[in-house]
């Protein structure tokens, strides 16, 4: 095997997702990322860290070594290593390994906290696989089509939250815990989303009336995003069923996961290749 | 440029929303309103106000000056100044600037609280832009079509809340915090909307059984407004797709944000001009 | 006017809802019921009752007198007074006036509490009007058609609530407040409906994991009743549009509140008379 | 009656659900299971157990005796007793009676707690009946068709919960109760599902901002599972209406519970025999 063909086959395995080896590599990567996340979570539990500090540290070094090897291979087999290094996932991959090395050189405790935050972002890579699922496209298209309705909805909700926050601040005031407008807006969000922690509650009859209004409003407007998304999703699913045509009998109406025509039984185009454009040209 | 044409072009910029200058003016106005809201919110935080009181005050004077200039220009360029001054937005515009001047003349602290409430209403102006979006019309039409179903739903919920409030007042009574029926109704609202602050909780087994029933009911009837709105929204979206016709090939089925016919590619009518009547004549 | 015709016109006004006088009477009745409810609620507030006890009592006597007159007229004008007296609303009407008279004869404080409960049921009469709205029929039909799916859903939820209640009782136990299985089931309902009072919270890691599972489950299964109702409601609205035919051009597709045919403009049948059967024969 | 025909008719009654006797047996079994569950729940209430300990124990022995008889008859009339004994329900049936006998031999208190957990699983048998309802099939099919979309949704939610949990742990830290990442993830679940116990609340302004974001996100993404399920359910209900054909006039569009053709009135196939395949072959 020449060096060029080695690089090509490494590229297909590591960056691609359609071959058997590529899928296996992706699954291993996800398992490794989730394991390193588990070690990271375990380290944060005082009792566990006190007893297993050394072992967790060695696991951490092991995962960092694996991710370093992966990063070097990605740089090696990529047709344009510089482009990869500068891409979003390239930077994430580097940030996932850099902090452990930096922590070895500068053993600063406060710095380690920030490191841990970056480590979590590695799990976003899982979404890479999700992109290739047809169902994910339908969900994404629905959200995209509904984006203007959702924006209008969130603008209205923001205005309502501000008004309710200011009103409760005036009615209840600092003596009942509503010490500033930002804190009162926090209360309005806690109430309108029906979370209801109970750390800040209105105590005057007028405040309780306003809170009741906020709750009933929050309870009702929950219907709006659901209605918007459901209507779009139904439309998208219908559009999809009309777009995919059987190559043999030309009939449509196939489900998003159908592999064979339900009218004549001939094989349909590979779902991964039925590219339904995410951004329709005229929008 | 004559005075008359100056007034007309000012009118188009300030009151209109279709020209480039009009849109820019609206965006600047929204930015100014949001900035003045931010200053207002910052003033309410004790720590910030203690340190930056002077600076925040100057910002406040600056915003009031800008809004005053805007109000005078609106009066100047409006074809019927008296009608504008008496309109809803005319009064809001005046109320947005008046309190700061009044506070200068009568420096009363308790009066300032009411002032702040009026200031928040200025952000309603943002909704003016939203009116022109086609998607907003579809949302509004759906809510209008569903208004009788939503009224029936809220009447039923109000009756249920009253009954559950009275029942918990009889079962738990003042010794467990349910000191009056209004307070018990407040508890019923907190529970049926699934907010659940936890400031008032039933403590007897019978009260907890009633609370369980209230929760399960609240959880289930949440389905009703969502179902109503989704069904109306689906219908509206279908109606819209059937109403807009391509001027070239006369085919329908275009999305609400489509600019070109998806069948023949010719330009569709401007979405802003496709006036779908909000109140159909026969309803 | 003969006595017979007086009785008939009184019957049309009091029991009917289609004439102008009948609608006015119903509105007056609703206003009186709501006012008596307001007096009842005000009486329960200690501060208000202390100061206005006498006045509230006189209002109470006034409302009881009005309801007594109404009850006597209903008995008088009803074609079959005995049947009315024994009907559901006849008994409610009697129970609405009886307690005040009984309280005058036997002035017992503890008995008054039960009285108040019965008083609230008078507001159910409001639902009488709601029955005649076409939209209410569509809602009712949707709920009836979905009753078996909703029963399956609630059976499953009940089983889940029992299992989670027993599990948290075993895991957390009486030392963390989960003193019995009924109380643990109450916690499971508070959690699965996303109310979350916070009066009972798991404190062990295992209990918190179980609680997390319960929450995520409760959060997801909320989709089921909404999905069921929305699907039925969409179907019902379509069926309705297909059932109402224009008497002139025989075309269908009219909205539930349409008064004129949208195809030819001729008047449609009165919505109140378009009786869509609530129980289709073959179900 | 020969022994063989006795076994066959016992089999039809006990394992079958279509005969009158079989349905009666199932209803009796459900009543017995629910009664034994009630006894189990009552035993857990300290006050009830203190007073009625003896009586509850005798009830428990009675139910165990009934379930033992049922288990023996099932073994006797089953055509393949070994296969039944090794099946899921066979093992559940054995586990439902075994603990009471074991508790008689080894009277250990701590062991009884585990016993009680197994007892609850007996109510799963109720689901056996549910399987035969056509509506249950439609619900199940919808969930199955939506499984990939639901998996994508839950993966995204899991990633979001982890990120928000880690962020709040870094922002608030152990001094405000967020003592470890698992506990912070528990907080994120409590918040994103809008349960909001209030046992763990952010106290810094930054933490409250993050919590607000978590709530608004949780509030919005609730729309996604509802949208997915509603869209699938609508599709399933339409498919069902198209699959069932009238044997006389061949027309479709019948409701899932229709027994007669709505076009010509002839009897439709028995709903229990209209087997709509749960797993379509091409998926």
pLDDT for C279 = 39
C-beta atoms surrounding C206 within 10 Å: 13
Q: Which residues contact B79 (CB under 8 A, 6 or more apart)?
A: B11
Point out the least confidently predicted range of A131-140, A160-169, D19-28, D186-195: A131-140
User: Which residue in chain A is spatially nearest to B236 when comparing CA positions?
Assistant: A231
Distance from CA of C140 to the nearest CA of D (A): 17
pLDDT for A176 = 92
ipTM: 0.78
Encode chain A in three state secondary structure: CCHHHHHHHHHHHHCCCCCHHHHHHHHHHHHHHHHHHHHHHHHCCHHHHHHHHHHHHHHHHHHHHHHHHHHHHHHHHCCCHHHHHHCHHHHHHHHHHHHHHHHHHCCCHHHHHHHHHHHHHHHHHHHHHHCCCHHHHHHHHHHHHCHHHHHHHHHHHHHHHHHHHHHHHHHHCHHHCCCCHHHHHHHHHHHHCCCCCCCCCCCCHHHHHHHHHHHHHHHHHCHHHHHHHHHHHHHHHHHHHHHCCCCCCCCCCCCCCCCECCCCCCECCCCCCCCCCCCCCCC
Determine whether C130 is exposed, middle or buried from the number of CB atoms within 10 Å of its CB (0-12, 13-18, 19+).
middle
Encode C170-231 in three state secondary structure: HHHCHHHCCCCHHHHHHHHHHHHCCCCCCCCCCCCHHHHHHHHHHHHHHHHHCHHHHHHHHH
Contact criterion met (CB below 8 Å) for D243 and D276: yes
pLDDT in tens, D10-37: 888 887 767 788 878 878 887 888 888 8
Q: Which residues contact B121 (CB under 8 A, 6 or more apart)?
A: A163, B92, B95, B96
Q: Whole-angstrom Cα distance, residue C161 to residue C211?
A: 12
Q: Which residues contact A61 (CB under 8 A, 6 or more apart)?
A: A100
State the best of A233, A241, A257, A263 to mutate against chain D, taking most chain D CBs within 10 Å. Answer: A233
Token pair recorded at residue A104: 């070895």
Point out the least confidently predicted range of A3-17, A158-172, D33-47, D242-256: D242-256
Q: How far is CA D139 from CA C51, C93, C130, in A?
A: 58, 43, 31
pLDDT for A280 = 38
C-beta atoms surrounding D181 within 10 Å: 24
Question: Which pairs with CB-CB distance under 8 Å and at least 24 residues apart come from B258-263?
Answer: B258/A282, B258/A283, B259/A282, B259/A283, B260/A282, B262/A282
pLDDT for C127 = 57
When pLDDT is cut at 50, 70 and 90, the band that residue B183 belongs to is very high
Contact criterion met (CB below 8 Å) for B39 and B63: yes
**Three-state SS at D265:** coil
Distance from CA of B144 to the nearest CA of C (A): 12
pLDDT in tens, B226-267: 888 888 888 777 766 666 666 677 666 565 555 566 666 666
Q: What is the pLDDT along chain C (283 residues), one digit of tens a residue?
A: 677 888 888 888 887 767 888 878 878 887 888 888 888 888 888 889 899 989 988 998 898 899 899 889 989 988 888 988 888 778 878 877 887 787 777 765 545 545 555 655 666 555 555 555 666 777 778 888 788 778 878 888 888 898 899 889 888 988 999 999 899 999 999 999 999 999 999 999 999 999 999 999 888 887 888 888 888 888 777 766 666 666 677 666 665 555 566 666 666 655 444 444 433 333 3
Token pair recorded at residue A48: 């566990």
Q: Whole-angstrom Cα distance, residue B177 to residue B169?
A: 9
Q: Which residues pair with A267 in a beta bridge?
A: A260
- Going from the N-terminus, what domains does chain D have, and what CATH number goes with each? 3-132 (1.20.120.350), 144-242 (1.10.287.70)
pLDDT in tens, A209-254: 999 999 998 888 878 888 888 888 887 777 666 666 666 776 666 6
Q: Which residues contact D147 (CB under 8 A, 6 or more apart)?
A: none
Cα-trace Rg, chain A: 26
Mean pLDDT is highest, among A114-128, A129-143, C93-107, C201-215, for C201-215
CB contact under 8 A, B189 and A215: yes
Token pair recorded at residue D55: 């009586």
HSE on the CB side for C52, CA within 13 Å?
15
CB contact under 8 A, C227 and D189: no
State the best of C167, C181, C185, C188 to mutate against chain D, taking most chain D CBs within 10 Å. Answer: C181
Q: Read off the DSSP letter of residue B270.
A: P
Percent of chain A with pLDDT over 90: 15
Q: Whole-angstrom Cα distance, residue D210 to residue C81?
A: 66
Q: Which residues of B touch D (CB under 8 A)?
A: 194-198, 226, 230
CB contact under 8 A, C198 and A198: yes
pLDDT in tens, B21-77: 887 887 888 788 888 888 888 888 888 889 998 998 899 889 889 989 988 998 988
For C66-82, letters b (16+ CB in 10 Å) and e give: bbbebbeebeebbeeee
State the best of C213, C215, C236 to mutate against chain D, taking most chain D CBs within 10 Å. Answer: C215
pLDDT > 80? residue A117: no
Average pLDDT for chain D: 78
Among A196, A233, A258, whose Cβ lies nearest the Cβ of D283?
A258
Residues of D with Cβ-Cβ distance to A233 under 8 angstroms: 227-228, 230-231
Residue with tokens 């407004």: B225
Residues of B with Cβ-Cβ distance to D197 under 8 angstroms: 198
Q: Whole-angstrom Cα distance, residue B43 to residue A181?
A: 9
Distance from CA of C186 to the nearest CA of B (A): 6
Helix (H) or strand (E) holding C2: none
Torsion angle in degrees (nearest 10) through CA of D263, D267, D268, D270: 160
Torsion angles phi and psi, residue C16, rounded to 5: -80, 165
């Amino acid at each position: 095997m020449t060096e060029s063909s080695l690089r090509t086959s490494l590229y297909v395995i590591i960056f691609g997702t359609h071959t058997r080896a590529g899928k296996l590599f992706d699954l291993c990567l996800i398992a490794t990322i989730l394991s390193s996340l588990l070690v990271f979570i375990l380290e944060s539990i005082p009792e566990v860290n006190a007893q297993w500090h050394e072992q967790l540290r060695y696991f951490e070094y092991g995962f960092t070594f694996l991710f370093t090897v992966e990063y070097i291979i990605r740089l090696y087999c990529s047709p344009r290593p510089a482009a990869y290094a500068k891409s979003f996932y390239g930077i994430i991959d580097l940030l996932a390994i850099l902090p452990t090395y930096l922590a070895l050189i500068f053993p600063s405790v406060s710095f380690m906290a920030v490191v841990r935050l970056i480590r979590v972002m590695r799990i976003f890579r899982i979404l890479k696989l999700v992109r290739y699922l047809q169902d994910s496209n339908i969900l994404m298209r629905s959200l995209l089509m509904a984006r203007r309705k959702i924006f209008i909805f969130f603008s209205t909700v923001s205005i309502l939250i501000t008004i309710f926050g200011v009103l409760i601040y005036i009615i209840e005031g600092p003596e009942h815990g509503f010490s500033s407008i930002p804190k009162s807006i926090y209360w309005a969000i806690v109430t309108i989303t029906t979370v209801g922690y109970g750390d800040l509650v209105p105590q005057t009859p007028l405040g309780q009336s306003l809170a009741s209004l906020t709750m009933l409003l929050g309870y009702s407007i929950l219907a709006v995003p659901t209605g918007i998304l459901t209507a779009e999703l139904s439309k998208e699913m219908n559009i999809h069923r009309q777009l995919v045509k059987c190559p043999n009998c030309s009939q449509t109406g196939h489900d998003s996961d159908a592999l064979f025509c339900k009218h004549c039984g001939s094989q349909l185009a590979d779902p991964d290749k039925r590219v339904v454009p995410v951004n329709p040209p005229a929008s």
